[in-house]
Amino acid sequence: MSATKKGKISLYVHIDDFLIAYSNPASLDEFEHAFSKEGKTPLPFKVSPIGVYAGVKIVYNRDAGTIHLSQPHILERAAERFFGSGKSILFASAPAIYNPKVPFGSDFALATDSEKPGMKEKPYLSLLATIMYSVFYTFPSAVIHTAHLCRYMHSPSPHCWEALVHLFRYMYHHRHLGVTYRKNFPIPSFPSTPPWPEDPQIFIKNLGFHVWSDATWKVNQTYAGFYIVMCGATVDWASALVKVVCHSSAEAEICAACKAGKRMMFLVQLMRELEHDITCPIPFFIDNSATSELTRKMGATKRTEHFLRWQNYMRWLVNYDYAKVYLVRDADQRADIATKMINLTKFAKMVSEIVGTSLGAV
């Protein structure tokens, strides 16, 4: 990034793709002139509010103050490759079928010896790789489902294949959903302890920087997930299997917060490198009351003495004022959809909150 009298300009390079952001046309002209003056090959400048960078479709509406990221072309090509065309793909309103009695992924298994011959004909790995590409870039609502299905990639069962196809059906029919960032983003409102927001002006100055983290506590099925939100939509997200034996739901929630905290610190440093001062502490919204208490206490107790070193990272963030934990209701927890399959009504609401666009609008 460079700043001159004519404005600021940033150049992003991804292999052979170039993305240039500038504060005004004069700064772009100045950069192009200086670049050509060095005797280097002129860059193929294309000034357009619509383009594709690193496989992501970018739609910039300067008047509305929005940037929309999506990958419909990736999913459309996948539909033709794996299913012949998109016309044969049935509609799915959610990434999986919700069953309160059977948690998503708990009935998945590796293929048996009798199932393996039939599964050799299924392009499980190829379709999963395509789905992962979209999920990592522009499809945060399908992250937990992808995480589960990745565990069986080396020998998937027919049931895993059916779940993968269902996931693709959802993504294909919502391929224009993407993520929408807004200049004039709303301040989220919900009951919390302590009350939120404490200082709306700092929240706006921080570009709406806040974190949602959650976990599911199950034997061999404990998943940690989070969404880090800025400008009204998530900028970073993850869902991962917790590879330690958690002795309580609070420990699982702390694992999720630690994972989110590491990414949060990276983004704080990145924003400061881009010359945007971020004021800490960053709000963390968690729906487990014990987590809030344990992150404030120093030292070890009988309930926490078994914690590994990395599980104390969230406490370090809280005690050094990099993060502040707010206790919220389960009904308001956005990160629920990053750790489990929930009912369709809540799923649609939470998706709209994290991607900045209503699920029913696409």
- pTM for this prediction: 0.91
Q: What is the pLDDT of residue 53?
A: 85
Q: Has residue 311 got a pLDDT over 70?
A: yes
Q: What is the pLDDT of residue 40?
A: 59
- Quick: pLDDT tens for 238-291: 999 988 887 888 888 999 999 999 999 999 999 998 888 999 999 999 998 888
- Quick: pLDDT tens for 116-163: 999 999 999 999 999 999 999 999 999 999 999 999 999 999 999 999
The 3-class secondary structure across the chain, one letter per residue, is: CEEECCEEEEEEEECCEEEEEECCHHHHHHHHHHHHHCCCCCCCCCCCCEEEECCEEEEEECCCCEEEEECHHHHHHHHHHHHCCHHHCCCCCCCCCCCCCCCCCCCCCECCCCCHHHHCCCCHHHHHHHHHHHHHHCCHHHHHHHHHHHCCCCCECHHHHHHHHHHHHHHHHCCCCCEEEECCCCCCCCCEECCCCCCHHHHHHCCCCEEEEEEECCCCCCEEEEEEEECCEEEEEEEEECCCCCCCHHHHHHHHHHHHHHHHHHHHHHHHHCCCCCCCCEEEEECCHHHHHHCCCCCCCCCCCCCCHHHHHHHHHHHCCCEEEEEECHHHCHHHHHCCCCCHHHHHHHHHHHHCCCHHHC
| Residue ranges covered by each domain of the chain | 2-47, 72-173, 189-361
Lowest mean pLDDT among 53-67, 219-233, 285-299: 285-299
Identify the CATH assignment for 189-361 out of 3.30.420.10, 3.10.580.10, 2.60.40.10, 3.30.70.60.
Answer: 3.30.420.10
- Quick: pLDDT tens for 151-207: 999 999 999 999 999 999 999 999 999 999 999 999 999 999 999 998 999 999 999
